[in-house]
Structure 1
Amino acid sequence: MSYTTQMDAARKGIVTDHMKRVAEKESVGVESLMADIAAGQTIIPANVHHTSIDPEGVGRGLRTKVNVNLGISKDCQDVEAEMDKVRSALAMKAEGIMDLSCFGKTQEFRARLVQESTAMIGTVPIYDAVGFLEKDLKDISVDEFFRVVEQHIADGVDFLTIHAGLNRKTAEQVEKDERLTRVVSRGGSLLFSWMKLNDAENPFYEHYDRLLELCEKHDVTLSLGDGCRPGSIHDATDAAQIQETIVLGELTKRAWERNVQVMIEGPGHMALNEIEANVLIAKKLCHGAPFYVLGPLVTDVAPGYDHITAAIGGAIAAGAGADFLCYVTPAEHLRLPSLDDMKEGIVATRIAAHAGDIAKNVPNAREWDNAMSKARADLDWPKQFELAMDPVRPMEYRESSKPEHEDTCSMCGKMCAVRNMNRVMAGEDLNLDD
Structure 2
Amino acid sequence: MKFTTQMDAARKGIITKEMEIVAKKEHMAVEDLKNLIAQGKIIIPANKNHTSLDPVGIGEGLKTKINVNLGISKDCCDIELELEKVRVAIDMKAEAIMDLSSYGKTEEFRKRIIESSPAMLGTVPIYDAVGFYDKELKDITAVEFLDVVEKHAKEGVDFVTIHAGINKETAGVFKRNKRLTNIVSRGGSLLYAWMELNNRENPFFEYYDQLLDICEKYDVTLSLGDACRPGSINDASDASQIQELMVLGELTLRAWKRNVQVMIEGPGHMPINEIPANVLLEKKLCHGAPFYVLGPIVTDIAPGYDHITSAIGGALAASHGVDFLCYVTPAEHLRLPTLEDMKEGIVATKIAAHAGDLGKNIKGAKDWDDEMSLARQQLDWEKMFDLAIDPEKAKRYRKESMPKDDDSCTMCGKMCSMRNMNKVMKGKNINLLREEG
**What TM-score do you get using the length of structure 2 for normalisation?**
0.99
SS in 2 for 1:164: coil
In 2, distance between residues paired with 1:85 and 1:129?
A: 24
Alignment of 1:18-417 (within 5 A): 18-417=18-417
Which residue type is aligned with residue 369 of structure 1? Answer: D
Distance 2:70 2:422 in 1: 47
* C-alpha distance in structure 2 between counterparts of 1:53 and 1:269, whole Å: 32
Structure 1 position 236, deviation (Å): 0.5
Give structure 2 stretches of 5+ with no counterpart.
none
Give, in angstroms, the shift of residue 29 of structure 1: 0.6
Query: 1:33, 1:147 → 2: CA distance?
Result: 33
Structure 1: state its 5+ residue gaps. Answer: none
Amino acid at match of 1:139: D
Hey, which bits of structure 1, 4+ residues long, moved more than 2 A? none
Shift of residue 147 of structure 1?
A: 1.3
Amino acid at match of 2:192: F
Q: Percent identity?
A: 67
Amino acid at match of 1:97: I
1:104-134 deviation digits (Å, cap 9, x = unpaired)? 0000000001111100100000011101110
Quick one: distance in 2 between partners of 1:124 and 1:68?
Answer: 14
Distance of 2:274 and 2:431 partners within structure 1: 53
State the distance in 1 between where 2:292 and 2:177 align.
24
Task: Give per-residue Cα distances to partners, 1:283-314, cap 9 Å, x unaligned.
Answer: 10000000000000000000000000000000
Hey, what's the Cα distance between the residues in 2 that align with 1:147 and 1:28?
38
Distance 1:421 1:11 in 2: 56
The whole-number CA distance in structure 1 between the counterparts of 2:314 and 2:204 is 29
How far apart are the structure 2 equivalents of 1:178 and 1:208? 28
Q: CA deviation at 1:178?
A: 1.5
**Residue 10 of structure 2 aligns to a residue in which SS?**
helix
User: How many residues of Structure 1 are paired with residues of Structure 2 in the alignment?
Assistant: 434
Deviations 1:226-258 (A, max 9, x none): 000000010010011000000000000000000
How far the C-alpha of 1:433 sits from its partner, in A, is 1.1
**2: CA distance between counterparts of 1:322 and 1:411?**
37
- The superposition leaves residues 334-364 of structure 1 with CA deviations (integer Å, 9 ceiling, x where unpaired) of 0000000000000000000000000111010
Deviation at 1:428, TM superposition (A): 1.0
Offset of 1:174 from its aligned partner? 1.0
Give the AA of the match of 1:291: F
Give 1:417 deviation, angstroms. 0.4
CA–CA separation in structure 2 for the residues paired with 1:147 and 1:9: 26
Instruction: Please provide the CA RMSD for this pair.
Output: 0.5
